[in-house]
């Protein structure tokens, strides 16, 4: 897609590309390019490299550590990171709770938490879903009872990504059991390193343990760590979810995966030529590319609106739906491109340094685990079915 960047934007692109090429650690690049498993240290190293450069949170207000980049420059920087196989930035601090704190938090919360998010001194997780409250999040049952200068929290959160690494959790808790569901929820910041917090891992289909169940038993939370007003947490939760859904699309990462797919298809034999010569397969690749082009324009509209101070609109939900569908489609095409070489399910092949002799091309070994992992993308952050309901209400008024 030719966005016809200005000379200033092209100069920025060259600067960003040079910085990433020079500073992205080689082992992290190899992991991302190979579709291998990443750990906390991988994410934190790249986080701190960008923070030192002042490029970690370009969308934040400048006063809190953001940049004065234009929407196009933000887009370019995301593209260049994906192009270079940089790891995704863990969103819980910088993309989710950070904007909530600088928008709705107290001055003490801004002064204390925002610098610790930027430095990665605090690693965050999200306490939203519960065993009985997923898509119907407003039915959550975790309770916070106000006693003196603290809340006493009891309940269970689940599907909690990276809770095993987390120092802090932003958590939705019920503080008024008599109000309507959405009207009795508060937004609390919880210390994960205190008594009463128990994290138990959930093993996923790809063999990883990135998600967890978190049990909260008589956990104490200072009232000063409630964001905003008591019982108004649903407002802050919706604000946060709109930011989360925009980021789930991961368009740049899908473009990098699409390049990998083409590379594989060029070398895989098919009849008298290669797989890329197969008309049906080539047509499916073209359709994915078209979908990515349309998503790019949608993302630019969302970035432009954000730069004007407007909250994310229904385009965030569109990005979530179509972006995750594209991710899943590419994972399916990668499996088909590798054929039976991709079938062995080898979770250990997702680890950096795995050196067993693979059956077939080396790129095939992680694909089954990657395919399984991609099944979740249309579910987390609010299922795609729920996103369509939200779009129907926001756009069509249904």
Q: C-alpha distances in angstroms, 169 versus 190, 256, 343?
A: 5, 32, 38
Residue 70 and residue 174 in one domain: no
The reply to whether 68 and 194 lie within a common domain is no
- Domain shared by 277 and 334, yes or no: yes
266/388 same-domain check: yes
- Token digits of residue 140: 């959550």
* Whether 74 and 172 share a structural domain: no
| Predicted local confidence at residue 313, as pLDDT | 76
Q: Are residues 289 and 221 in the same domain?
A: no
The rounded percent of the chain whose pLDDT value lies above 90 is 58
User: Is pLDDT above 90 for 221?
Assistant: yes
pLDDT digit string, tens, across residues 116-148: 999 999 999 999 999 988 777 889 999 999 999
Same domain, residue pair 213 and 256: no
Q: How many CB atoms lie within 10 A of CB 344?
A: 15
Residue 179 in this model has a pLDDT that exceeds 60: yes
Last residue of a domain, one of 67, 89, 111: 89
Domain of residue 266, CATH code: 1.20.140.10
Stretch (H or E) spanning 35: none
Residue 359 maps to a domain? yes
Query: Domain tally for the chain?
Result: 3
Which pLDDT value is given to residue 53?
97
* Domain end point (choices 89, 109, 139): 89
Read off the pTM. 0.87
Domain that holds residue 191: 124-233
Tell me: the pLDDT tens digits for 355-390? 775 667 778 888 888 898 888 888 887 788 888 888
Q: What is the pLDDT of residue 379?
A: 84
Q: Which pLDDT score, from 0 to 100, does residue 243 have?
A: 62
Q: How much is the CA Rg of the chain, to the nearest whole Å? A: 22
Helix (H, G, I), strand (E, B) or coil at 58: coil
Cα separation, 392 vs 398, in Å, equals 6
In this structure, are 345 and 378 located in the same domain?
yes
DSSP string, 158-207: -S-TTTTT-SEEEEEEE--SSS-GGGGEEEEEEETTSTTEEEEEE--TTS
Pairing of strands 168-174, 124-127: parallel
- Do 342 and 216 sit in the same domain of this protein? no
Is the pLDDT confidence value at 277 over 80?
A: yes
Q: How far apart are CA 160 and CA 141, in angstroms?
A: 16
Range 307-332 average pLDDT: 84
Q: Which of 133, 88, 41, 23 is nearest to 250 (CA)?
A: 88
Task: Encode pLDDT of 331-358 as tens digits.
Answer: 999 999 998 888 888 778 888 887 775 6
The rounded distance, in Å, linking the Cα atoms of 224 and 201 is 30
pLDDT at 244: 61
Measured distance CA(226)–CA(219) in Å, rounded:
14
């Amino acid at each position: 897609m030719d966005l016809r960047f200005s000379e200033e934007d092209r100069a920025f692109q060259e600067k960003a590309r040079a910085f990433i090429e020079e500073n992205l650690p080689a082992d992290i690049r190899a992991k991302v390019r190979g579709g291998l498993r990443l750990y906390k240290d991988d994410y934190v190293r790249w986080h701190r490299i960008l923070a030192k450069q002042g490029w970690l949170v370009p969308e934040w207000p400048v006063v809190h550590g953001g940049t004065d980049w234009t929407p196009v420059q933000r887009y370019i920087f995301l593209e260049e990171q994906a192009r270079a196989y940089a790891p995704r930035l863990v969103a819980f601090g910088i993309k989710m709770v950070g904007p909530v704190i600088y928008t709705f938090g107290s001055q003490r919360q801004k002064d204390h938490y925002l610098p610790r998010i930027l430095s990665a001194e605090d690693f965050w997780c999200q306490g939203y879903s519960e065993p009985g409250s997923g898509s119907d999040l407003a039915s959550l049952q975790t309770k916070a009872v106000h006693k003196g200068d603290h809340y006493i929290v009891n309940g269970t959160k689940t599907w909690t990504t990276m809770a095993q690494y987390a120092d802090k959790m932003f958590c939705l808790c019920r503080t008024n059991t008599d109000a309507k569901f959405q009207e009795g929820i508060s937004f609390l910041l919880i210390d994960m390193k205190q008594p009463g917090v128990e994290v138990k891992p959930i093993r996923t289909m790809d063999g990883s343990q990135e998600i967890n169940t978190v049990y909260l038993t008589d956990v104490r939370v200072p009232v000063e760590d409630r964001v905003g007003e008591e019982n108004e947490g649903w407002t802050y939760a919706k604000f946060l979810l709109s930011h989360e859904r925009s980021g789930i699309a991961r368009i740049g990462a899908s473009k990098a995966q699409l390049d990998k797919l083409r590379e594989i298809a060029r070398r895989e034999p098919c009849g008298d030529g290669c797989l890329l010569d197969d008309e049906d397969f080539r047509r499916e690749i073209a359709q994915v590319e078209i979908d990515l082009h349309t998503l790019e324009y949608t993302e630019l509209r969302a970035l432009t609106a954000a730069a004007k101070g407007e909250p994310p609109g229904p385009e965030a939900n569109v990005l979530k739906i179509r972006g995750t569908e594209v991710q899943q489609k590419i994972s399916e095409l990668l499996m088909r491109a590798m054929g039976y070489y991709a079938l062995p399910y080898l979770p250990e092949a997702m680890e950096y340094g795995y050196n067993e002799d693979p059956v077939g091309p080396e790129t095939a070994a992680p694909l089954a685990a990657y395919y399984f992992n991609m099944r979740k993308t249309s579910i987390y952050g609010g299922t795609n079915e729920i996103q369509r309901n939200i779009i129907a209400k926001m756009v069509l008024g249904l």
